[in-house]
Structure 1
Amino acid sequence: MADLLAVSGYTRDQMRGLLDAMPVFARRNTAARIAKTYSAQELLLVRTCTQLETRYGLQRGTVANFSDPLRSVLIGPRPVSKTASLLLSFDPADVHYLEATGGFEEGLLVPLAPIFQVVDDYLLPGTAQLNWHQHNLGFVPQTVDSVVTSAPASPPAAPASSAKPATSHAPASRKRRAQ
């Protein structure tokens, strides 16, 4: 329950009321004194439902009607998009995942970026900002040619017979005094 409270900002009583109203959580078999676990998708679902209640002013019964369609949309795989939104249609209650805004039918448009950000910040503290900067690098398929195995050429070594005697690096004034 602590995870849900941290992600939603709700009190324990508010959260219990919301979970009891949502069919997916009301059907769960629970035993006394046993901690319930929630997946990342369930955290997204709860955060979305609490936003529908608090930010958009939907009544709890309406939010509960949307919980199953919301769950099916949020659990499925989806592309990474900063402009992703949910479109909620009210007659009948239905939810659509939109990658970009524009060209949609009547309904409530809920941006997902702030919801994803809150859940990511909770699950991966300090790394969520990195995930939002992901994008395709645009690499194209390339062929790999044969690997070159020859070592780079080394400079030629000086012949041993032409070695010069070591010279002093002392300044010329010292050399004159020594003579």
Structure 2
Amino acid sequence: MNDDGLSKKMTSEKGRVKGEIPSAMGINQVFMGEIKPESFSDMVKLYKKDIQLSEGTDFDTNLKNTWLIIINKALLKGEGNEEQRRFFVYEQLNLEQNFAHLDNFFELLAITNSIDDAEKSKIVNEYLKKNKAAVKQIVWQTPEEKAEMETKLVLAGRSYGILHPSK
């Protein structure tokens, strides 16, 4: 079965809720311990394989955010190289929303030396703009939850600007 056929099969998996990551995705096998990447580069290969299959699906953002739980943790512990850090900064910037990794995103951006200060400033502004727009699109359980996320975004952007002023 080709990747397109596999993707269609996964999105029609019986009992799967819209946005739910299908059981056949590599991330599930990693979390279950069925697959143990030997290196960070192996993990990145699995990530790229999964996202290739999820492109254009209803679970694409959820899949990426789930992978980022372990990827950000590894990157912030010093695993990976500069190219990989840069890749995952832009990967997170391009998500529909990235609320789950707010602090990790700014920390990763700060340690990615291949991105100059002017570009980092643009990234911060784009990231905040995109995530603020996403906050407005979501139906929150309470107005307080929405306000809390809006506040987190403002504070994260402000904190990054204070700790990492453009030169």
Structure exhibiting the larger radius of gyration computed from Cα positions: 1
What TM-score results when the alignment is normalised by the length of structure 1?
0.24
- In the superposition, the TM-score normalised over structure 2's length comes to 0.25
Please identify which structure carries the higher helix content: 2
Which is richer in strand? Answer: 1
